[in-house]
Structure 1
Amino acid sequence: MGDPHPKLHATELTRTFGRGDRTVRALGPLDLSVAPGEFVCLVGPSGCGKSTFLRIAGGLLRPSTGELAIRTTPAPDPRLRRVARPTAMIFQDYGIYDWKTVQANVRFGLDIQRMPRREADARARDWLARMGLADFASAYPATLSGGMRQRVAIARALAVEPEILLMDEPFAALDAQLRVILQDELLELTQTTRTTTLFITHSLEEAIVLGDRVLVMSARPGRIIAERRPPFPRPRSGEVRSTPEFTALKSELWELLRPEAVPA
């Protein structure tokens, strides 16, 4: 049985691009429900429509057919103006502004919500402290490492207290060691905030460490062909990587994914 009141619910969702004989079916039909506070990871071959789905969820694309509903809650502070979609998105390329300081980047979404400047600055500083960036509030992104820039992007996204956090391969550009560190930081952070999260990754290890559920998508047009729940209770830590259950689930997911990843 699924959650009777899902935070996000997609029904027969499809997306095509182009027209006539140049039409490309990129996604679907896709059905998906995400419960409040759930962390769902999507894995699938390149070009299967994972990012397309995330952009539909974030309001950046319209579906061709089907519906996507997000169940919202009223803003706790009536002074704040809710944005059109209560989501925050983090991309692989950070998506932060080079001409703004680190603090101004983190405050950006709060400025859009018209939060009073003093309050917005205080919340931005709080998130910078939580992400280990307090000493870099006045710095500009060009002076930061890749890992620090991604921390800025995460702080900016979470500072607006989004209903749903959408993450599109946020650690793919980082080296292996830094990727593990940020995975563990994100794991600790999301277990504390319980923010509903949709996370796209090519890394099965990443999906198993982070996810309450791992959904495997088919080759284009992407559909969900399998679902697995990592057998690790929360709160969990990165130490699950060394367990036999982790290795077994990774092998099982790869057997499901491999036929989809091989070119036709």
Structure 2
Amino acid sequence: MGEPYPKLSAHALTRTFGRGAGAVDALGPLDLSVAPGEFVCLVGPSGCGKSTLLRIAAGLLRPSAGTLEIRTSTLRPAAMIFQDYGIYDWKTVRANVRFGLDIQRVPRREANARADEWLTRMGLADFADAYPAALSGGMRQRVAIARALAVEPELLLMDEPFAALDAQLRWILQEELLELTQTTRGTTLFITHSLEEAIVLGDRVLVMSARPGRIIAEHRPPFPRPRSGDIRDTPEFTSLKSELWDLLRKEAVLA
């Protein structure tokens, strides 16, 4: 048997904003392939086009040239989680988690059951009837993760979802995400500024250049799955983090 078709593939992908003399080349040309069940982390200097790539994958932006294709076997190709949570303040926690299911016209009883299942898994069952304003930042991000996973997407797109959280909470949510993704074996494309986060979570870590962003390096953290955050204490972790930082520092100078 050959290799499975990639879940996501991009070929000669570019994105330019504006026209004429004021045009800004934000991305590419970029080639990318993400295999089914793979967790891929993208790191790169600020403004290198990481979020632009994710928005193209989510269908929120059109590429200027090239292609990005997501191969799916269901009507639930992708779900996206943003840094700013992206949940609705006027909806209860349960209604927020149920939102994608409502769009899919899943019957209300089933949708509530699935929402409640994910609220329980994310430790939010006691807050189902609360509104987001009553929640901490970490709890709001758990709601966003539960909402994305409740629709059982084939591809999870995560745009620096833990960047606004303090270090301790970020560590906790990294552990929770590790456990969730290793259980569901979904496919994830994850953007982060944190090299530590990328190494802990990723099957592969891809380094992007300064704008216009292209992939200039690929590393596979040498830690088998299932893994935990304990890998942070290993010499291999420290060595890989240092190697990635050397690459990124050069690109940051150019950004």
CA shift for structure 1 position 263: 4.1
Residue 238 of structure 1: which of 229, 232, 243 is its match? Answer: 229
Name 1:159's counterpart in structure 2: 150
TM-score, length basis structure 2: 0.98
Q: Kindly, what percent of the aligned residue pairs are identical?
A: 85
Q: Which secondary structure state, in structure 1, belongs to the residue aligned with residue 114 of structure 2?
A: helix
Deviations, residues 192-231 of structure 1 (Å, cap 9, x unaligned):
0111000000000000000000000000000000000000
Q: Which secondary structure state, in structure 1, belongs to the residue aligned with residue 88 of structure 2?
A: coil
Name 1:46's counterpart in structure 2: 46
Contact 1:3 1:35 in 2 (8 A): no
Gaps of 5+ in 1: 75-81
Alignment of 1:128-147 (within 5 A): 128-147=119-138
Structure-2 separation of matches of 1:105 and 1:37: 26
Contact 2:15 2:26 in 1 (8 A): yes
Counterpart amino acid of residue 205 in structure 2:
V
Q: Which secondary structure state, in structure 2, belongs to the residue aligned with residue 135 of structure 1?
A: helix
Alignment of 1:187-226 (within 5 A): 187-226=178-217
Structure-2 separation of matches of 1:243 and 1:54: 31
CA shift for structure 1 position 254: 0.6
Q: Kindly tell me the number of residue pairs found equivalent between the two proteins.
A: 254
Residue 117 of structure 1: which of 108, 114, 126 is its match? Answer: 108
Gaps of 5+ in 2: none
Structure-1 separation of matches of 2:67 and 2:248: 26
Counterpart amino acid of residue 25 in structure 1:
D
CA shift for structure 1 position 256: 1.1
Structure-2 separation of matches of 1:54 and 1:32: 12
Name 2:32's counterpart in structure 1: 32
CA shift for structure 1 position 163: 1.1
Counterpart amino acid of residue 149 in structure 1:
R
CA shift for structure 1 position 4: 4.5
Counterpart amino acid of residue 189 in structure 2:
L
Counterpart amino acid of residue 59 in structure 2:
G
Q: Which secondary structure state, in structure 2, belongs to the residue aligned with residue 107 of structure 1?
A: helix
Q: Which secondary structure state, in structure 1, belongs to the residue aligned with residue 26 of structure 2?
A: strand
Name 2:244's counterpart in structure 1: 253
Structure-1 separation of matches of 2:4 and 2:175: 31
Structure-2 separation of matches of 1:89 and 1:183: 17
- What do you get for the CA RMSD once the two structures are aligned? 1.0
Q: Which secondary structure state, in structure 2, belongs to the residue aligned with residue 46 of structure 1?
A: coil
Name 2:59's counterpart in structure 1: 59
Contact 2:4 2:36 in 1 (8 A): no
Structure-2 separation of matches of 1:99 and 1:263: 43
Counterpart amino acid of residue 118 in structure 1:
R
CA shift for structure 1 position 191: 0.3
Name 2:13's counterpart in structure 1: 13
Contact 1:39 1:199 in 2 (8 A): yes
CA shift for structure 1 position 262: 1.3
Structure-2 separation of matches of 1:226 and 1:104: 41
Contact 1:102 1:138 in 2 (8 A): yes
Structure 1 residue runs of 4 or more that deviate by more than 2 Å after TM superposition: none
Structure-2 separation of matches of 1:124 and 1:195: 18
Structure-2 separation of matches of 1:146 and 1:3: 40
CA shift for structure 1 position 96: 0.1
Name 2:162's counterpart in structure 1: 171
TM-score, length basis structure 1: 0.95
CA shift for structure 1 position 257: 1.0
Q: Which secondary structure state, in structure 2, belongs to the residue aligned with residue 15 of structure 1?
A: strand
Q: Which secondary structure state, in structure 2, belongs to the residue aligned with residue 262 of structure 1?
A: helix
CA shift for structure 1 position 118: 0.3
